[in-house]
Amino acid sequence: MVKDKLLVKIESLAFEGKGVTRIEGKVIFVRNALPGDLLEIQIVKNKKNYSEARITKILEPSPFRINPKCEHFGTCGGCSFQNLSYEQQLQWKQKFVVDAFQKIAKIENIPIKPVIPSPKLYEYRNKMEFSFGDSRWLSTEEIQSGTEIPPQDKHFALGFHIPERFDKVLDIHYCHLQDYRGNIILNEIKKKASQLEIPAYNLKTHLGFLRNLILRWSHTYNELMVNLVTTSQISEKESSFLAWFKKDFSKNEVFQHLIHTTNDTFSPTNFGDYDIIKGSGYIYEDLLGVKFRISPFSFFQVNTQQANRLIEQVIKYAEPEDKLVWDLYSGSGIFALTVAKTAKYVIGIELLPEAVQDGIYNARLNNIKNAEFISMDLHSKGIFPQLEILKKPEIIIIDPPRTGIHKNLLKSLLQLLPEKIVYVSCNPTTMARDCFELQNFYEVLELQPIDMFPQTYHIENVALLVKKKT
């Protein structure tokens, strides 16, 4: 079955954006396939309960299929829906939320509102993180051509890791999700690094110099921040590259802030010390009349225009007027500080000290005196005694990572039992799981999906949970 080519009709979409069909009752997931497609496919992975396949030929395209804008679509895993009309993207994203709450939270009549669409379908991201790699993903055409590829072209790339292949990096020429100026920066750094034959970091051997290129934009003030992440493995070539980066490249007027970060840890997310080469090292953004300072590694919603709509929805559900509010996983304080405009008092709790400092700074920047920020590990076993000594909240706003609310924090919520929980999540499956755990004490009154990530299968969702009357 793995080698045979099969004729199938795609029935639906799975949450990760793969087309779904069935053969003899067995589910087959087909990447880049759309409902209504008549396809010739080939099985590439056979599991007990499902199979995965690739498209070998589109025999009859779905009526919802459109031409993708990006040359990298189909190989890059970032934009799984770029071949699907936006109206259909919204419909399927809503269905993902409904399916998750029906199957996982066991709620049949889902009180869900229509998805709030994004005003921009491209160039909406205010942050991009590219990876350097020493093993470039080669296309089928390159492999079959028989043409010898120069070592530096074969062993150097700047772009995104191939889905499920973290050893391979797809070399990106132009990403349509970022401001066009980001592509200028991307290609200029790549060109110089290739010319000087600067080695990219290898995740297995931990050798190499170039690790990441992180770009951040301010939508409000139209400022760009460029952050190059490297190791400290510096030879004469790397010294020449850094000299160019700090002197000649820094003169580029496309960006206002330039940073060099050193990371010698094995973790790609454990960013180390950084040097500010140009600018202040911070960008600023305005959301609902509140100004935010964003440091190089602080979390901030990636779609600034939609972030305003997200905050408006959180405020609508929270009804924070004269209430004591906790904002858990508070980051730089986008919920805490906008809610504080009407709340009695707000406490933001966040693990990352840098983000906590941003929250404190942002409160002072906006002359907000009824909000404080605390650094605390919300996942620790001893979290409840730490929370218990704080002023008990009437409302909790919680925006956890994609993995959802940690079990230790979930236990604490069931001991604190605030009147309302406003739950923000970009993962409907973990959100539904957590709502199932909370349903003995809370009723899910309403769900509001918000499309923060056009062209992808991701969907942000806000849930209003109200404590049941005893």
Name the least confident of 139-153, 226-240, 298-312.
139-153
* Sequence-separated (6 or more) residues with CB below 8 Å from residue 368: 290, 337, 340, 341, 362
User: Which tokens in the block code for residue 332?
Assistant: 């730089």
Region 127-285: CATH code: 2.40.50.1070
Name the percent of the chain lying above pLDDT 90: 83
Between 100 and 142, the higher pLDDT residue = 100
- Answer whether 368's CB lies under 8 Å from 337's CB: yes
- Answer whether 342's CB lies under 8 Å from 321's CB: yes
Q: Which CATH architecture is the domain 98-121+303-467 placed in?
A: 3-Layer(aba) Sandwich (3.40)
The order of strands in the sheet holding 127-133 is: 165-171, 157-162, 127-133, 210-218, 223-230, 257-262, 274-278
Q: Looking at residues 333-345, what average pLDDT do you find?
A: 97
Residue 1 has pLDDT above 50, yes or no: no
- Cα–Cα distance, 15 to 34 (Å, whole number): 13
Q: What pLDDT, on a 0 to 100 scale, did the predictor assign at position 374?
A: 95
* Sequence-separated (6 or more) residues with CB below 8 Å from residue 164: none
Residue 206: left (phi > 0), alpha (psi -120 to 50), or beta?
A: left
Name the least confident of 143-152, 190-199, 372-381.
143-152
Nearest by Cα to 155 from 117, 199, 116:
199
Q: Which of 70, 76, 175, 426 is catalytic?
A: 426
Give the DSSP H/E element, type plus range, for residue 450. strand 442-450
Residue 8 has pLDDT above 60, yes or no: yes
CA dihedral 132, 137, 141, 146 (to 10 degrees): 90
User: Which tokens in the block code for residue 12?
Assistant: 């639906």
- Answer whether 341's CB lies under 8 Å from 362's CB: no
Residue 108 has pLDDT above 90, yes or no: no
DSSP state string for 148-184: PPPHHHHS-EEEEEETTEEEEEEEPS--TTS-HHHHH
232-254 pLDDT per residue, tens? 999 999 999 999 999 999 999 99
Residue 73 has pLDDT above 70, yes or no: yes
Residue 139 has pLDDT above 90, yes or no: no
Establish whether 70 is a catalytic residue.
no
Residue 220 has pLDDT above 50, yes or no: yes
Q: Looking at residues 340-362, what average pLDDT do you find?
A: 94
Nearest by Cα to 83 from 468, 456, 465:
456
Q: What pLDDT, on a 0 to 100 scale, did the predictor assign at position 3?
A: 58
Query: What 3-state DSSP class applies to 44?
Result: strand
Residue 390 has pLDDT above 60, yes or no: yes
Band of residue 145 on the pLDDT scale cut at 50, 70, 90: confident
- Cα–Cα distance, 332 to 352 (Å, whole number): 10
Residue 188 has pLDDT above 70, yes or no: yes
Is 117 buried (19+), middle (13-18) or exposed (0-12) by CB count in 10 A? middle
Band of residue 269 on the pLDDT scale cut at 50, 70, 90: low
Band of residue 153 on the pLDDT scale cut at 50, 70, 90: confident
Residue 331 has pLDDT above 60, yes or no: yes
State which fold the 5-65 domain adopts.
OB fold (Dihydrolipoamide Acetyltransferase, E2P) (2.40.50)
Band of residue 270 on the pLDDT scale cut at 50, 70, 90: low
Residue 2 has pLDDT above 60, yes or no: no
Indicate the average pLDDT of the chain.
93
> Contacts by 54-58 with C-beta closer than 8 Å and gap 24+?
54/30, 55/30, 55/31, 56/5
Distances (CA, A) of 105 to 88, 115, 409, 462: 25, 20, 19, 15
User: Which tokens in the block code for residue 410?
Assistant: 């979930």
Identical fold, 5-65 and 127-285: yes
Name the percent of the chain lying above pLDDT 70: 97
* Sequence-separated (6 or more) residues with CB below 8 Å from residue 124: 118, 177, 302, 303, 304, 305, 306, 454
- Torsion sign over Cα 121, 122, 124, 129: positive
pTM: 0.91
- Answer whether 122's CB lies under 8 Å from 457's CB: no
- Cα–Cα distance, 51 to 28 (Å, whole number): 5
Task: Write down the domain spans for the chain.
Answer: 5-65, 98-121+303-467, 127-285
- Answer whether 128's CB lies under 8 Å from 140's CB: no
Residue 209 has pLDDT above 70, yes or no: yes
Q: What pLDDT, on a 0 to 100 scale, did the predictor assign at position 144?
A: 66
Q: What pLDDT, on a 0 to 100 scale, did the predictor assign at position 420?
A: 98
444-461 pLDDT per residue, tens? 999 999 999 999 999 999
Band of residue 74 on the pLDDT scale cut at 50, 70, 90: confident
393-417 pLDDT per residue, tens? 999 999 999 999 999 999 999 999 9
